[in-house]
Amino acid sequence: MKLLILGATGPCGQLLIQDALAAGHSVVVFARSPQKLPESITSNPAVTVVQGQLTDAELISKTVAGVHAVLSALGPPVTVTSGLTYPSDTPIAKGYALVIDAMKRHGVRRLILLGTTSIKDANDHFSVVFKTLVAGVGVFAHGAYKDFVAIGELVRSESVGLDWTIGRVPVLTSGEDKSVVVGYVGDKHRKPVLTRTAFASWVLEELEKGEWVGKAPLITSP
């Protein structure tokens, strides 16, 4: 398949690219600062790099045309330092609105994107750990919290014509462990961490199997 990958210059995005290439897919990268990508990616003949902003509707539309699916590791920063300066006008959600509009225009149905438990789900149950995590983000990185919530609301409201999956993650960590537990907040034995390697691996597996279409599961380390 020909895959459009968003958020490609970050750690998760680069892992997504590597896993997609290893699975035999071709990749289109849409990035504001593609110079952040290593040469091992940009020089790969199966990779096409498009430099652009998430506000450029025309370029987004041209980039979406011809791809089979959109995979995204986009997400606002949730650290205290960056959270204090992150804009409150939900810029990533607005970018997703343009992406989804382009997908519908060009008949691209599959969208798998990163989310967090700031995006609530009817299948969730009470968890002290995850409630505390979300509350902390809401206080110390409120702009990021608002953006994630808006992303979830947007995807669900625009679900007609889309085969979407939001992979909600806890705290992302480094490491090579690819094992995951997939379910919902409040399930037993849910750790509040997940390796980026595991997230990327799960996204490619979900692309192949489609087990969570129209759902927003929580993915954690076992």
Can you tell me the distance from the alpha carbon of 104 to that of 128, in angstroms, rounded to the nearest whole number? 39
- pLDDT exceeds 80 at position 141: yes
Q: Which structural domain range is residue 18 located in?
A: 2-220
Structurally, the chain folds into a number of domains equal to 1
pTM higher than 0.85, yes or no?
yes
DSSP bridge partners of 29:
5, 49
Which residue has tokens 């997940």? 194
State the pLDDT at residue 79: 74
Task: Please name the amino acid found at residue 209.
Answer: K
State the pLDDT at residue 104: 98
Residue-wise pLDDT for 85-115, tens only, equals 899 999 999 999 999 999 999 999 999 999 9
State the pLDDT at residue 87: 93
DSSP bridge partners of 181:
220
Percentage of the chain exceeding pLDDT 90: 91
Q: What is the CATH number of the domain that holds 187?
A: 3.40.50.720
Q: Quick one: average pLDDT of 41-65? A: 98
Measure Cα distances from 192 to 30, 32, 54, 139 in Å: 30, 30, 30, 18
